[in-house]
């Protein structure tokens, strides 16, 4: 995909109203966040369950986040391997952050 297509796709993701609200809501700047989900983890590690995938996200995005590297597919894959090889880490990581998975039923 060309860079122009990427820009067009990103621009299309937000309505003009959303952009206007972000700029004018008093924060004085625009904030952007990329969201990674447990389904993304399963793109690189289909064998992980919900708790294991959540632990991967917590390790990659919070506990051991490397701001110079960021989060990408390789990082998720490396943390998935770590979680897979260290099963005891799942309960510790989830417990440390009080993570609670939001199911479709809980979100409704």
User: Looking at residue 4, what is its pLDDT?
Assistant: 47
CA atoms within 13 A on the CB side of 92: 7
Give the CA distances from residue 100 to residues 6, 47, 54, 108, in Å, rounded to whole numbers and listed in that order.
33, 20, 9, 15
User: Looking at residue 1, what is its pLDDT?
Assistant: 43
Are residues 54 and 99 in contact, defined by beta-carbon separation less than 8 angstroms? yes
User: Looking at residue 28, what is its pLDDT?
Assistant: 63
User: Looking at residue 11, what is its pLDDT?
Assistant: 53
User: Looking at residue 76, what is its pLDDT?
Assistant: 95
Are residues 89 and 56 in contact, defined by beta-carbon separation less than 8 angstroms? no
User: Looking at residue 102, what is its pLDDT?
Assistant: 54
User: Looking at residue 56, what is its pLDDT?
Assistant: 94
The Cα 82–Cα 63 span in angstroms is: 14
Mean pLDDT by 10-residue block, N- to C-terminus, for the chain (108 residues)?
A: 49 56 58 85 96 92 82 94 94 78 52
């Amino acid at each position: 995909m060309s860079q122009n297509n990427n820009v067009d796709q990103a621009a299309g993701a937000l309505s003009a109203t959303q952009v206007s609200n972000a700029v004018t809501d008093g924060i004085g700047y625009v904030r952007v966040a990329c969201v990674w989900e447990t389904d993304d983890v399963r793109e690189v590690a289909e064998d992980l369950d919900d708790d294991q995938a959540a632990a991967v996200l917590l390790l990659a995005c919070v506990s051991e986040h490397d701001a110079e590297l960021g989060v990408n597919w390789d990082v998720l894959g490396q943390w998935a391997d770590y979680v897979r090889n260290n099963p005891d880490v799942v309960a510790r990581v989830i417990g440390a952050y009080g993570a609670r998975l939001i199911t479709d039923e809980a979100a409704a």
